[in-house]
Structure 1
Amino acid sequence: MIKGLNSIIFLMLLILSLLSLGCYCAEVQEITNSKPLAVGQTLVSPGRIFELGFFSFSDSSKQYVGLWHKNIYPRKQVWVANRERPLAVSDGLASLIISRNGNLEIVDGKQNSVWSSNVTSQVSTSNTSSVVALLLDSGNFVVKNDVEADGVVWQSFDHPGDTMLPTQLLGFDSKSGKRNVLTSWKSENDPSVGRFWVGLSAETPSQVFVWVNNGSDSAPYWRSGPWDKSRFIGIPEMNSQYRSGFTLDDNVERGTKYLSWDRLLYPTYEEISSEGITKYMASVEGSNWTLGVEAPKHPCDIYGACGSFGVCKASESPICKCLKGFVPKSDQEWRKGNWTGGCVRKSKMFCQRQMTNRSVAAREKEDDGFLKMARLKVPDLHEFYASFVSDTSENCKIRCLNNCSCLAYAFVNSIGCLVWSKDLIDIQQFSSGGVDVFIRVARAEMGEGRPIKLIVSLTAICLISILGAIVVGFYRMRGHQRGKTTGNAGKYELADKIRTSRDTLREYIGKDDPYELLIYDFDSILVATDNFSLTNKLGQGGFGPVYKGKLPEGKEIAVKRLSSSSGQGKEEFKNETLLISNLQHKNLVRIMGCCVKGDEKLLVYEFMPNKSLDTFLFDPMRRAVLDWPCRFNIIQGVARGLLYLHHDSCLKVIHRDLKVSNILLDEKMNAKISDFGLARIVQETPDLENTKRVVGTIGYMSPEYAMGGIFSEKLDVYSFGVLVLEIISGKKNTSFCLHDQQQGFLAYAWNLWNEGKGLALVDEVLAGSYSSSEVMRCVHIGLLCVQDNAADRPTMLDVVFMLSSNIDGPQPKEPVFTVVYSTTPVIRPQPQYQSTFSTNDTSITAIEGR
């Protein structure tokens, strides 16, 4: 009896303990001077994404205050406050408080301060009620008060640990001396500062470095290679998969340089491990972490693995070898596998010798040369020559050749001319990616047989010169004969025409004359297009007709001719001339020049031999040419082009008329986005904008834009989603019909997906010759992009990331807004907005909600 009573009492006490513990382990939304955070409580962000509280490691007697993603395991502490001064795990009375001077403090059970935010505040000791500590959904832990101008007096993002979160800044302020770096933990269970730290270099262009502390000094351990305005060129994964989203803001006037990256649809973070490895982690399913990119991965990634003038290639054995024209500095060490001593030159360079009393002819025979090495991670310690429009690889070579101290050069797209005057260190050769680097060597190292080749080359040059002189003499004689009657009147006729056209262009489009554009003479365009003959007509758009042309030198071009009857043509011409001349990307069509003469307004583009995507996709006889690898490549190309427009270009551009007919295909069937006449430059802001002129194509316009004129980059995302589903199915969204049912193309695609029949959407001409996983991933992405709510759609950064990895996004929602095309035109007046729709082979339109 007594034993049973004791058991009941024990159970009651246990229940009471659990109940009291449940109350004690409460979640709070803020910390104030009257509401501290106690052991067992957690501070939670508004969206329940992040959580902050006291924690300890297993088998540890130490306790910390840290921050982590709330529902993702294994739990990763992305920030720790008291890294260097842990509490005893037995101290259950410790708390995180707002102190009397307005600082955030960790105090132990005896109210001794263990850690403090340590900022000078304007808050008086009697007015700390205005101070509050909050955890934001970005993972930033902030202290605010009503006294300071901007409200924020302290934030954890300014005091990073071993982890960097999206929107957090890594870099420095050279004027104030403030520097944001990541510092590794000492071990997996010890968050105190370890040996490695990550930061941004001050050079131009910058690199990310991992440094290692070796007692009294630091040494480079790994580096990313220079920044090329969208990615780091020394990380092959970024080159091949275009994992962009990073932004490097270099403000010379303020003296600041900061690196950050955008938030994706799913949680991500980057850390420096206690072993010095940088890791990019993502959680798509929301329950665990997946490794994305890590570095260093192999011995060649370690800084200076092969020493000066040595090159490392991971796929070879041994991994190190000397550059051509160089030999190991120590054969003995090299044979032992110790390559860090590097290499030295075999032959002294010509420019280093005494050149007194040497003739020009002698110098030309003995001058140094350059050996090309492909797919390299460029050496460290580069010097940057500012890139101009006229800058070329040849100009870069001349600059290096004329400078005796220049040891190598590289002309890198989106960067310009890089040269090296110090020992070439940390060179790596990739199997793919990288850039071409030209190494300066003595003439004797340029290869055997050089004198014979030189003689042959000189002979050929002499023959060409003689033939050229004969041709020039012949034309001069004929010109002299014509000059007897015409004089010199026509000598500068072409130059005058070009100058007049340039002046007309400046007057037409205003002060923003794009001087880098080539101005074409109208008569030369007439000749190139055979007087705009119908046989050369490539197509017709809202802007006007497009013609194929051929310049005298044999180069093929596409000429877009402004239709004089086009109401919006003038604005489109001005918009496209100013816009596309500033945009350069492999997935955007390239403008070559323009011509303005009277009412004639012409734009000249590179010629796309395979015309537009619709000529294949919607042609029953030709669509089989588009096999699945080709279609998937087109989808990826369009995604990369849009990412450039939205994020990576110097301007933030919304295309507003993305559709199948505006995707051009080059000779290798690579996609290039065209027709920027309706594009819009917007400010770098996430806010939606409103327009009274709705432009675009029915079927590709998002609901919020078609019905209310509200647009953002999510308008292009919606159009991209429609485009993806069309590419997969080979069906036009505007002419889709399902047994007379009132079901639009998007609703049909979603129903198939929802029923687990997504592969039924695939074009029948592919006949199973496709990757099921890639198709399902693309259907998934397409449906995510066409969701009704703009906020639910991914960004193009999300899209490119999903396309280039095996990571899926969240489940798409059922589209409520659909476009249904009946057999009779239905006109829905919109008195508030003037609508302009570009040609899409569809004249029957009805926008309905269901």
Structure 2
Amino acid sequence: MNLLSCFSLLLIMWVLSNTLFSAIIDARSEPPISVPSISEQFFVAERIPSSQFPVKMEAEPPGEPEIRVVHHHDLNEKILIALIVASSLLGGILLFLLFFWIYRQKKLKYSNKKSRKSLEAAKGISMNPIMVKFNPLRTANRKGSLAIFDYPSLEAATNNFQESNHLGEGGCGHIYKAHFDEKLLAAVKRIDGVTQDTAKEFEIEVNWLSKIHHQNIIKLFGYCIYGDSRFLVYEMMEKGSLETQLHGPTQGSALTWHLRMKIAVDVARGLEYLHEHSHPPVVHRDIKSSNILLDSNFNAKLSDFGLAVTSGTENNNFKLSGTMDYVAPEYLLDGKLTDKSDVYAFGVVLLELLTGRKPLENLAPAQCLSIVTWAMPQLTDRSKLPKIVDPVIRNMMDLKHLYQVAAVAVLCVQTEPSYRPLITDILHSLIPLVPNERGGSLRVTEPRALSLLQEYKRLCQ
């Protein structure tokens, strides 16, 4: 209630109170009227001869006041009614103000809970609040269970979001290292100045990650809503993003050929789960090297599900989103979005792993060259293929394995979506290139892998 409303209400109360009490005062100040007693009336009548009374009463002359008799019990009754009305009115107003104050207090106190309910209502997500002290063992074995952190606990875990705990940026937010106790180390993404788009992406990410559980998809421990800020608490990925490893200070020196193939297989496994085994199927819509995170053993996990949509959704209802370097041509030109859009982005990531180059290279001011445009002519020429491989891994692989990766990459980035393979075929083609101890088989005998090689040979002709 603003100041003008309060003033108006008080003015009405003042006017009503003055009116009622003025009526009471006027009623009490009315002078009493003397009424002759019965004996006086009798003697007066006796002194007047009966002959003086005409048979027919004459009309009273004009101008004489009419005398009304007001009894004391009528006056008291009016005063009592006025008092009852005044007290009832004032009591009602006071009760209204009291209830309105209580309502306002509750609204302020539970403003954050209203935002959380919108998350819980999204397709029946069950989020059990675990405040302040977070126990990962309580939620690790319960699907759809997320912790709701309070802001002071996040402040304490990140040392008030000190720069020394800053890990980087991602998904329109800053990421901080957080120590909740001696056993739990996590990463907190902080999104400040939330807009309508970022708030929607926040809800989508919480929605999907509360339901998706896979070894190659990032684990979300919980979230926090505090004023205009949003916080997401993830498992810690010690090696950072694939983008940092490939294009950061180390320039991919820590990534051997087998490690790169293992990362490609991990990403393919995560996408296969989304496309083939999730109910409903999911299109990630933002596959890129910065959204592929690596743990201490270089196990890769997909992150940043803020743009994810259900596969088969009519895409007229959402605007073009994603990173342009990885966006499939049909999505960019016509807005068509399918699981093959993720396959195209995967092909760009595979080219990054193979060549060590960024998806978009700046050749000159206002002139850029995409990795797809640069690599395609050389990928289909076996004599040129070894020359475009990242120097860090150039002498680490068998040429047959190199041809296999080139075949997968070429097919993934085809302009026509129907020419691109399914992610399951890609996975079966790459698994033989990874050692057994890293989850592969290190052999090229899979029927699906051989079919991709045959298709690659056709494109090379």
Alignment of 1:551-590 (within 5 A): 551-590=180-219
- 2:296 maps to amino acid: E
Counterpart check, 1:750 vs 2:376:
yes
- 1:589 maps to amino acid: I
Displacement after TM superposition at 1:747 (Å): 2.8
Distance 1:761 1:522, change over 3 A: same
* Corresponding residue of 1:514: 126
Given the alignment, which residue of 392, 411, 414 partners 1:784? 411
* Corresponding residue of 2:4: none
Displacement after TM superposition at 1:741 (Å): 9.7
The gaps in structure 2 that reach 5 residues or longer are 1-108, 128-144, 433-443
Matched residues in 2 for 1:595 and 1:664: separation?
Answer: 22
Distance 1:576 1:501, change over 3 A: farther
- 1:726 maps to amino acid: E
Q: Is the 8 A contact 1:539 1:546 kept in 2?
A: yes
Alignment of 1:427-466 (within 5 A): none
Deviations 1:695-730 (A, max 9, x none): 000110000111121101111000000000011111
Alignment of 1:7-406 (within 5 A): none
Displacement after TM superposition at 1:573 (Å): 0.7
Displacement after TM superposition at 1:753 (Å): 2.2
Greater per-residue strand proportion: 1
Matched residues in 2 for 1:742 and 1:619: separation?
Answer: 20
Q: Is the 8 A contact 2:194 2:228 kept in 1?
A: no
Distance 1:714 1:514, change over 3 A: same
Displacement after TM superposition at 1:813 (Å): 8.7
Matched residues in 2 for 1:765 and 1:664: separation?
Answer: 21
Counterpart check, 1:803 vs 2:448:
no
* Corresponding residue of 2:62: none
Q: Is the 8 A contact 1:653 1:681 kept in 2?
A: yes
Alignment of 1:363-762 (within 5 A): 503-509=113-119, 511-512=121-122, 513-515=125-127, 516-619=145-248, 621-683=250-312, 689-735=315-361, 737=363, 744-756=370-382, 757-762=384-389
Q: What is the SS of the residue equivalent to 2:192?
A: coil
Distance 1:771 1:619, change over 3 A: farther
* Corresponding residue of 2:421: 794
Matched residues in 2 for 1:813 and 1:747: separation?
Answer: 20
Displacement after TM superposition at 1:646 (Å): 0.6
Matched residues in 1 for 2:295 and 2:329: separation?
Answer: 32
Provide the identity percentage.
Answer: 35
Matched residues in 1 for 2:238 and 2:398: separation?
Answer: 28
Matched residues in 2 for 1:537 and 1:755: separation?
Answer: 44
Matched residues in 1 for 2:358 and 2:300: separation?
Answer: 18
Q: Taking structure 2 as the reference length, what is the TM-score of the superposition? A: 0.63
Deviations 1:441-467 (A, max 9, x none): xxxxxxxxxxxxxxxxxxxxxxxxxxx
Distance 1:742 1:734, change over 3 A: closer
Displacement after TM superposition at 1:736 (Å): 5.9
- 1:776 maps to amino acid: Y
Matched residues in 1 for 2:201 and 2:184: separation?
Answer: 26
Matched residues in 2 for 1:695 and 1:814: separation?
Answer: 31
Displacement after TM superposition at 1:742 (Å): 8.0
Matched residues in 1 for 2:403 and 2:363: separation?
Answer: 23
* Corresponding residue of 1:111: none
* Corresponding residue of 2:136: none
Distance 1:753 1:736, change over 3 A: farther
Q: Is the 8 A contact 2:178 2:188 kept in 1?
A: yes
Distance 1:813 1:788, change over 3 A: farther
Deviations 1:783-814 (A, max 9, x none): 10000011111110111121235223123898
Displacement after TM superposition at 1:617 (Å): 0.5
Q: What is the SS of the residue equivalent to 2:325?
A: coil
Counterpart check, 1:775 vs 2:385:
no
Distance 1:614 1:501, change over 3 A: farther
Matched residues in 1 for 2:320 and 2:368: separation?
Answer: 26
The count of corresponding residues between Structure 1 and Structure 2 is 313
* Corresponding residue of 1:41: none
Q: What is the SS of the residue equivalent to 1:592?
A: strand
Deviations 1:72-130 (A, max 9, x none): xxxxxxxxxxxxxxxxxxxxxxxxxxxxxxxxxxxxxxxxxxxxxxxxxxxxxxxxxxx
- 1:570 maps to amino acid: A
Deviations 1:480-530 (A, max 9, x none): xxxxxxxxxxxxxxxxxxx96994453342523432111112110110011
Matched residues in 1 for 2:201 and 2:250: separation?
Answer: 34
Q: Taking structure 1 as the reference length, what is the TM-score of the superposition? A: 0.35
Matched residues in 2 for 1:799 and 1:576: separation?
Answer: 26
Displacement after TM superposition at 1:540 (Å): 1.6
Quick one: higher RCO (CA 8 Å, sep 6+), 1 or 2?
A: 2
Q: Is the 8 A contact 1:636 1:800 kept in 2?
A: yes
Distance 1:501 1:648, change over 3 A: farther
Q: Is the 8 A contact 1:544 1:566 kept in 2?
A: no
Displacement after TM superposition at 1:771 (Å): 3.0
Q: Is the 8 A contact 2:261 2:430 kept in 1?
A: no
Displacement after TM superposition at 1:746 (Å): 1.3
Q: Which is further off, 757-766 or 657-666? A: 757-766
- 1:714 maps to amino acid: K
Displacement after TM superposition at 1:749 (Å): 1.6
The two structures, once aligned, show a CA RMSD in angstroms of: 2.6
Larger radius of gyration: 2
Matched residues in 2 for 1:533 and 1:681: separation?
Answer: 38
Deviations 1:26-49 (A, max 9, x none): xxxxxxxxxxxxxxxxxxxxxxxx
Deviations 1:348-396 (A, max 9, x none): xxxxxxxxxxxxxxxxxxxxxxxxxxxxxxxxxxxxxxxxxxxxxxxxx
- 2:211 maps to amino acid: N
* Corresponding residue of 1:252: none
Displacement after TM superposition at 1:652 (Å): 0.8
Matched residues in 2 for 1:812 and 1:502: separation?
Answer: 59
Q: Which is further off, 558-567 or 570-579? A: 558-567
Matched residues in 1 for 2:320 and 2:420: separation?
Answer: 21
Q: Is the 8 A contact 2:283 2:339 kept in 1?
A: yes
* Corresponding residue of 1:257: none
Q: Is the 8 A contact 1:691 1:709 kept in 2?
A: no
Counterpart check, 1:764 vs 2:374:
no
- 2:328 maps to amino acid: S
